Amino acid sequence: MRTAKGQRATGLRICGIRTVWDTVGDGEFFCPGCGGDRNYQRLTGRHRLTVLGLPLLNRGSAGPVVECVACRAHFATDTLDRPTTTRFSAMLREAVHTVTLAVLAAGGTTSRTVLETAAGIVRDAGLDDCTQEQLFTIVEVLAADTGPGGTAGPAAEACGAALAIELHEVLKPLAPHLAVAGREGVLLRGARIALADGPYSQAEREVLTMVGGALQLCPADTAELLAAAARTPS
């Protein structure tokens, strides 16, 4: 337990409010104070009125707050909503991997050039041991898994219902933490894979439009980016 004192003089007595903090949890977070992944303690406080340093009355509760173990600064608990740098990198790697699989599932895995481009993009994103064979196998397994008679929309059918759900689950939590340029970058990597064997197929276009939506890019921007990528030789 630690205390923080705010004291004021009233007449001859020294009165103050002292906050007594209790630790109610801990973990790792991104500290906006000292700028990095740090351990934190979650604290709740009780205000006590003190006279001459002696706690006399309970004056309500304080917090909860998050205290950085490194710099000791206090933050509102919504600071914990932001992923740590480590977690963020993992989310980004996973996003690129999932987009890659979705585009491959829509465009077919028969082209060597497409698989080569795809594996290169996934490795660049940080999954160093990704191979063409690995991507090929995952897409085949997912395609077999989906089976006929799905009731999902055309875009979902194009990349498999399971992948459509996966796309939203992976991209949605990432989107708020990524600047527009970063979100566009994820979409454009998908576009590069789709374009590796020529213009977008209808299915590839649908999947990439779905990716743009899951990344919270507006439909017009997504369409414009996809068109611009198609015009630019890679």
> Residue numbers of the site for Zn ion (CB under 5 A)?
31, 33-34, 68, 70-71
Q: How far is CA 45 from CA 1, 27, 61, 70, 200, in A?
A: 10, 18, 6, 20, 58
Rounded Cα distance, 121 and 103, in Å? 12
- How far apart are CB 70 and Zn ion at their closest, in Å? 5
Measured from the CB atom, the residue of 71 and 175 that comes closer to Zn ion is 71
CB 83 to Zn ion: min, Å: 16
Q: Which is nearer to Zn ion, 43 or 158 (CB)?
A: 43
Question: What is the nearest approach in angstroms of Zn ion to the Cβ of residue 178?
Answer: 23
Residue 66 vs 191, nearer CB to Zn ion: 66
Closest-CA residue to 185 (of 124, 233, 127): 124
What is the closest distance, in whole angstroms, from the C-beta atom of residue 27 to Zn ion in the complex? 14
Closer residue to Zn ion in complex, CB, 68/121: 68
Distance (Å, rounded) from C-alpha 153 to C-alpha 109?
22
Instruction: Give the list of residues 6+ apart from residue 82 with CB closer than 8 angstroms, or none.
Output: 29, 30, 32, 177
C-alpha–C-alpha distance, residues 43 and 198, integer Å: 57
Considering the complex, state which of residue 71 and residue 225 has its C-beta at the smaller distance from Zn ion: 71
CB of residue 88 vs Zn ion: minimum separation in angstroms? 17
